[in-house]
Structures are given as C-alpha cells and as structure tokens.
C-alpha cells in the first residue's frame, strides 16, 4: 500500500512581519524587514545589542496576562490566561487563524487530529516564578508557575484550548525544533496514525529569550535596523532574535479532498541528520545537514536537480552560513538552476519556530508567484560563493522547495514541498 500524500491546508502567523497573511506576503515581496531599536536591549547592563523585533499589534508587556492585547481580541477567560505566556498567546491566535484558513473548527477535530509543538518555554515566566518561589516560599507561589513557563507549556495550553485528543508531543531540538515537529507529524499521517496534524512553533522573543545569545557572541551588534541581519554577507556579525508563532495544518490529501479544503502546498519528504560534533558549533563540513538533505531527497523520491530553491537556515553567524553553503554545494553541485536564500534577512531568527515560519513564508511566496532572495545581500562572503545566492526576489515561482533548519547539538532537518496545482 502506498503512503498517503500529505498537504498543507491551513496556516497562521504572528511574526515580525505581521499577523495578516496578505500583509506578510506584501512585505516579503517588497523585502520589507521587521527590525527596530529595542530600548530594553541597549539599556540592559551594558548590552551591545540594540536591534530586535516586535509582533505588530500585539502587546504582551504586562506582567498580567489579562492585560495583554491582540489585533483580534483573545476571547479567553481569566483562568485560561493565567496558564499562558506570550508565545502561547501568539500561538493561540496563529492556530485560530490556521483553523479558519483550513475551514475547520476545534469542535470537529476529534481523535483524528494531533498536535506537535516546538518552543523553548518562557524564560521570563520561569525567572519570575522561581524568584517568587525563593522569595515567598512554596505556599505563596503561583499554582500556574510550571505550566506557564517550562518547555512543554505550548503543548499543555494548546491541547487544552483546542480540545486536542489525538497524538500530542512537544519537540526540543533548539532551532530545528519546529522542523522536527513537522517531519514527525508527516510520519504520523504516512503511517495512518493520524488523519490530520496541527504543527506549531512559538517563542516569546523577549529580552530573557534573546539576550543570552549575546553572551555567546551570536547576536548582531549592528545599530542600523536596515543592515542588522545579513545572512551570507561578509559584513554579517550575528543574528537578530525574534519570536511570535507559526501554525500549520497538514492532512492527508484524501481527507482534504473529501471535505473540500483549500490546498496550499504538498509536502513531499523530509530527512534529519546529526553532526555528532560540538554542543553549540556545527561540524565544519556540515555532515549532519548533508545527511538531512540526502534523506529528504530520498524520502521525496527526487534527484537534486528537481529542487528549484532552498530556504537556508542561514542566520547570519560567521560560521553557520559558511558550513551550510558548503553542505548545499556538496549535495547540489552542478545544479545551475538552484537558488538559495535566507528569509531571516527580513524576519530575524525565531529560534524554535524558524522551520514552520520559513516554510509558511515560502508557501506564501509560491502562491503569490515569486521566489524570495536574500535582502540586503550586497557583499557575498567568498566562502559562500560556491552556491547561487540572489539578492532580489525572482519574479517566477519556485515549484519545488527545500527548507533547512539547524540547531544546537548538531541537529539538522530538511523538508521538501511543492506548489499545489490541481
């Protein structure tokens, strides 16, 4: 029996480029970034970091969740809000949007729908709750302190808010997390264990989430929002941290067709590979990423020349971009028609949610008929020049796209998808 075909039928976003899919597509098409000066960064204990991102039309700055605001209201009661943190709040809206996009309601999900999530938890809530524990004691600490802060918080809250009774799991492989979640969600459908999966990546994207990367010298120290994120550019000096949420609804083609659902793209295959090298540094030859790309091609039953475009993980760090360029060249050398780009030049690096966010952006570009380039790429690093790196968007659609994600510990994931045409 052949495996079922898998399609994307819904997506929802709350990211640095906005929360409305039309607006996000327009900004992607015009290469309009989502970066700005963040006073809390540059004013924090001698920090050299000043550029970051915000989620337009959301305000989660209050210590009290009932004070948070969003573009569409939240329709959540006080008890639900106490268990949330900013990234769960963003994710609630992203999933609601994705369900609407897929023409589904939470009332019809049932046992055939599962939920896989990815986030690093809420560092701000964890810090606050632990401080309360140490200062006030156990009896005077919040009973919601665990579920609104630890790594599994996204799964705990979304499964309850949307009454998910199918498969449920949270993934924690650093910046490859949501790509892992999507890959394993595809397997759930291929194996016939679920008819449909909701896959969500989300991050607070605030000071406590982002600034610790500054201690690793991984963050951009630029003071100019227009040139702060420079993947593959010799001028790059680190990534711009971001947050928000990205939600995808995937299901079998049979299921989508039976209910007349809109189909946005078809997922063809995925692969993963590990570097087995160092905790926070990629293998210099990119062996894990090479393995991930090779296995994704095998799973999709494609040759390298079938891929039209790669959305690279490329964050703008000195080492990571070079390693990825070398790995792509090793697998795709001789494929003259292949373009590679990093949308992080516009969105920044959204950590755990990067995989689902970047696949969503590429699908939006496919639907609009263009292919993203790497904005602001003026001086290609000679070490990355082994691959084709257009700066400008191409005015034609990439039919088959590969998306790469890499994380600490040498975790690498590649996912292949194609534009849907009936």
Q: Give catalytic residues, as residue numbers.
A: 175, 313, 349
CA distances from 163 to 101, 105, 108, 265 (A): 18, 11, 10, 26
From the list 101, 259, 110, 119, the residue with the least C-alpha distance to 177 is 119
For residues 399-411, b (16+ Cβ closer than 10 Å) or e, as one string? ebbbbbbbbebbb
The Cα–Cα gap between 77 and 51 comes to: 34
From the list 350, 384, 348, the residue with the least C-alpha distance to 235 is 384
Structure tokens given for 283 = 């293998």
φ, ψ (nearest 5 deg) of residue 408:
-50, 155
The Cα–Cα gap between 148 and 353 comes to: 18
Burial (CB < 10 A; 0-12, 13-18, 19+), residue 66, is: exposed
From the list 308, 354, 268, 355, the residue with the least C-alpha distance to 8 is 268
- The terminus-to-terminus CA distance of the chain in angstroms comes to 23
From the list 269, 244, 239, 402, the residue with the least C-alpha distance to 328 is 402
From the list 138, 54, 123, 63, the residue with the least C-alpha distance to 90 is 54
SS3 content of the chain, % helix, strand, coil (to 5): 40, 20, 40
Structure tokens given for 46 = 């001698």
Asked whether the CA dihedral 129, 130, 131, 135 is positive or negative, the reply is positive
From the list 11, 20, 165, the residue with the least C-alpha distance to 102 is 11
């Amino acid at each position: 029996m052949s495996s079922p075909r898998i399609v994307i039928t819904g997506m929802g976003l709350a990211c640095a480029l906005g929360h409305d899919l039309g607006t996000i597509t327009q900004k992607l098409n015009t290469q309009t970034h989502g970066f700005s000066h963040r006073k809390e960064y540059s004013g924090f204990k001698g920090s050299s970091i000043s550029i970051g991102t915000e989620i337009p039309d959301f305000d989660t700055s209050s210590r009290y969740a009932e004070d948070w605001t969003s573009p569409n209201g939240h329709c959540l009661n006080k008890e639900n809000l106490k268990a949330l943190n900013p990234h769960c709040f963003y994710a609630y809206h992203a999933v609601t949007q994705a369900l609407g996009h897929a023409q589904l309601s939470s009332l019809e999900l049932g046992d055939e729908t599962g939920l896989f999530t990815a986030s690093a938890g809420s560092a701000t809530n964890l810090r606050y709750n632990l401080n309360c524990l140490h200062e006030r004691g156990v009896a005077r600490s919040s009973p919601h302190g665990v579920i609104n802060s630890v790594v599994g918080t996204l799964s705990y809250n979304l499964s309850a808010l949307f009454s998910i009774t199918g498969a449920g799991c949270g993934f924690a492989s650093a910046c490859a997390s949501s790509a892992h979640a999507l890959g394993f969600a595809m397997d759930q459908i291929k194996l016939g264990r679920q008819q449909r999966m909701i896959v969500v990546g989300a991050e607070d994207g605030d000071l406590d989430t982002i600034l610790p990367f500054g201690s690793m010298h991984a963050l951009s120290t630029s003071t100019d929002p227009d040139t702060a994120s420079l993947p593959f550019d010799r001028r790059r000096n680190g990534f711009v941290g971001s947050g928000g949420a990205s939600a995808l609804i995937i299901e079998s083609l049979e299921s989508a067709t039976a209910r007349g659902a809109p189909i946005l793209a078809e997922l063809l295959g995925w692969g993963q590979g590990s570097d087995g090298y160092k905790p926070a540094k990629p293998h210099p030859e990119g062996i894990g990423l090479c393995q991930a790309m090779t296995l994704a091609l095998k799973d999709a039953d494609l040759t390298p020349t079938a891929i039209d475009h790669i959305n690279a993980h490329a964050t703008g760090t000195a080492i990571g971009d070079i390693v990825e360029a070398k790995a792509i060249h090793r697998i795709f050398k001789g494929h003259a028609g292949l373009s590679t780009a990093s949308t992080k030049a516009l969105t920044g690096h959204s950590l755990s949610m990067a995989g689902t966010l970047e696949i969503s952006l590429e699908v939006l570009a496919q639907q609009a008929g263009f292919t993203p380039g790497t904005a602001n790429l003026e001086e290609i690093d000679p070490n990355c020049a082994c691959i084709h790196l257009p700066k400008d968007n191409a005015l034609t659609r990439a039919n088959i796209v590969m998306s790469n994600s890499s994380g600490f510990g040498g975790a690498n994931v590649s996912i292949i998808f194609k534009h849907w045409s009936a």
